[in-house]
Structure 1
Amino acid sequence: MADLANCPRCDKLFVKGAHDVCPDCLKQEEQDFQTVYEFIRKKKNRMSTMQEVSDQTGVEKHLIQKWLKQRRIHPGEFPNLTYECERCGTQIYEGRLCLDCAGDLQSDLNEETRGKTIAEQEQEKRDKQVYFNVDQENKWRN
């Protein structure tokens, strides 16, 4: 079932599907993408930074970052187009986190997993312990 949403760019109501903006803004974003891509394709502009591309094309940095994250612009071809790690702000080429933050997150997850397994082992020990209660009054009754 499709969801109704307000476009984050123009606040127009639209049916949210594969795209996160309304059809009119999507057309504008595609035109902006073509502008950026034509700019960075030129040999003299391939080493441009995010700020330089944004200034020269008039396209907002967050849109260029969006295309980098979507891999529509490949960072291997344009090495100075980077964006910030979502956790610490370090400049990165791909993904959402830098290698340091990803490593920290992975080690935290491993610790949590180890903690859960220890807790699960303790619970299993408790579950295996069986206590019998003998009712003294009804002990010999059938």
Structure 2
Amino acid sequence: MAEIRNCPECNEFFNYTGLREVCHKCAQKEEDLYQVVYRFLRKRENRAANVERIEEATGVKKDLLFKWVRKGRLHPALFPNLGYPCDNCGHLTTTGKLCEKCQNELKSDLRTFDAATEFRENVAQRDKGTYLADRKKR
């Protein structure tokens, strides 16, 4: 079921159905901008352009370029210098929400946490046993 929302670009009301985050008019403008960017990138000399170069040449904002890469409209396999910022450090990545460096750091932290948890459990198990105290003190 559709709900009425304000378009984040032009602040007009539109029926949000889950397909688009903006109104029809702004979606059409985005599509026109996408075509400009795609035509720019299809030229052989521009295929290796980075985000800053594309923004400079076409006038399209970085956020919109990042959105298209994230949604798979612009493929980093075809255009190798494209990506979107890592949610943790801001370094450009092409898959997921975290770059490879942040993923590796997170995996390392999780392994360390798991090892510490296992160590604490082993210590607790070992200390759980009963000890008989020697009643005769010397």
TM-score band w.r.t. shorter chain: 0.7 to 0.9
Identity of aligned residues (%): 40
Distance in structure 2 (CA, Å) of the matches to 1:81 and 1:52: 11
User: Counterpart of 1:15?
Assistant: 15
| Residues 32, 59 of structure 1: 8 Å contact kept | yes
Please state if 1:5 is matched with 2:9: no
Distance in structure 2 (CA, Å) of the matches to 1:55 and 1:96: 26
- The 1:104–1:33 alpha-carbon spacing in structure 2 relative to 1, beyond 3 Å, is same
Number of corresponding residues? 117
Cα shift at 1:86: 1.0
- Give the secondary-structure state (helix, strand or coil) at the position aligned to 2:10: coil
Deviations 1:46-84 (A, max 9, x none): 111101101101111111110000111110111111221
The AA in structure 1 aligned to 2:6 is N
| Residues 68, 94 of structure 1: 8 Å contact kept | no
Cα shift at 1:4: 1.5
Cα shift at 1:90: 1.3
The AA in structure 2 aligned to 1:100 is K
TM-score (norm 2): 0.74
- Give the secondary-structure state (helix, strand or coil) at the position aligned to 1:74: coil
Aligned-residue RMSD, C-alpha: 2.2
Runs of 4+ aligned structure 1 residues displaced above 6 Å come to none
Cα shift at 1:38: 0.3
The AA in structure 1 aligned to 2:77 is G
Deviations 1:14-51 (A, max 9, x none): 11121000000000000000000000000010111101
Larger Rg: 1
- Give the secondary-structure state (helix, strand or coil) at the position aligned to 2:45: helix
Equivalence map 1:76-87=2 (5 Å): 76-87=77-88
List runs of 5+ in structure 2 lacking aligned partners: 122-138
